[in-house]
């Protein structure tokens, strides 16, 4: 498929465990975004990558959150010592040129911390 | 940083009537304003966008207007249909190669038959 792929689609984890969420962007897209969407809420910006570097990580809620991108392609969002308030849908998007072009979203990963 | 406010949070209109969603932004440097539609269980999808050098753009039943002076932009949907029911997000960013996209809080639009 040619779209943005996220895995897993659903993740249930125990409080205090670490989780990794994966995003495979559209091939050739240099920009990659992570957003968090709590139930019935808007899209909260987390971090933005241009290539492998992150010009803006201002949205990461705490130092328990980190993200990396390798080879200008796949990105991983890691949440350490998960808390119940981390429960949300995590959405990844990619675009060919950053903020000026259409961002294509994946289906998201629904994270539930119990 | 940029802040985007969106109103209303919910909107219910009769099928065939028009729907209007309004947004304001804070950063006068923002110059690209996309609108996304999110259906249940799916990621948002771009429906229309406008750049700051244009005041209005139309695509069939959907139109967007921009008032740069007031930092307002709006989405207009005419002749609404049941498939228009979804959550709509406005957004703002810089038209450059290195810019994040900041979204409004969303509007849940329901079309009454």
pLDDT at A1: 53
Q: Above 60 in pLDDT, residue A31?
A: yes
Residue of B nearest to A45 (CA): B102
Write out chain A residues lying below 8 Å of B93, CB-based.
99-100
pLDDT at B97: 57
Give A80 to chain B, closest Cα distance, Å. Answer: 24
Give A87 to chain B, closest Cα distance, Å. Answer: 16
Mark yes or no for CB contact B105/A41 under 8 Å. Answer: yes
Mark yes or no for CB contact B100/A106 under 8 Å. Answer: no
Mark yes or no for CB contact B99/A58 under 8 Å. Answer: no
Give A96 to chain B, closest Cα distance, Å. Answer: 9
The model's confidence at residue B52, banded by pLDDT at 50, 70 and 90, is: confident
- pLDDT, tens digit (0-9, with 9 covering 90-100), for A61-111: 999 999 999 988 999 999 999 999 999 999 999 998 766 678 999 999 999
Residue of B nearest to A30 (CA): B97
| Token duo for residue A20 | 């990794």
- pLDDT, tens digit (0-9, with 9 covering 90-100), for B17-46: 999 999 999 999 898 999 999 999 899 999
Over chain B, what is the mean pLDDT? Answer: 93
| Cβ–Cβ contact A25 with B under 8 A | no
Of B45, B99, B103, the CB nearest to A99: B99
| Cβ–Cβ contact A48 with B under 8 A | yes
Mean pLDDT of A33-44: 90
Contact A33, A47 (CB under 8 A): yes
């Amino acid at each position: 498929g040619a779209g943005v792929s996220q895995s897993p689609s659903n993740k249930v984890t125990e409080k205090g465990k670490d989780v990794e969420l994966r995003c495979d962007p559209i091939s050739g897209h240099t920009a990659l975004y992570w957003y968090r969407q709590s139930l019935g809420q808007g899209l909260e910006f987390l971090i933005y990558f241009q290539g492998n570097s992150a010009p803006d990580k201002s949205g990461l809620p705490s130092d328990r959150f980190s993200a990396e991108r390798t080879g200008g392609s796949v990105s991983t969002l890691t949440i350490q010592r998960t808390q119940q308030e981390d429960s949300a849908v995590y959405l990844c998007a990619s675009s060919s040129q950053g903020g000026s072009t259409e961002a294509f979203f994946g289906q998201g990963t629904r994270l539930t911390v119990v | 940083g940029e802040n985007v406010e969106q109103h209303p949070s919910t909107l219910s209109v009769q099928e065939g009537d028009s729907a209007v969603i309004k947004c304001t932004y804070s950063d006068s440097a923002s110059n690209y304003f996309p609108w996304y539609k999110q259906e249940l269980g799916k990621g948002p999808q771009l429906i229309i966008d406008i750049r700051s050098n244009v005041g209005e753009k139309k695509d069939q039943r959907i139109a967007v207007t921009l008032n740069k002076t007031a930092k307002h932009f709006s989405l207009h949907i005419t002749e609404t249909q049941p498939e228009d029911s979804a959550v709509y997000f406005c957004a703002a960013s810089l038209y450059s190669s290195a810019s994040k996209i900041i979204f409004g809080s969303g509007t849940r639009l329901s079309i009454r038959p």
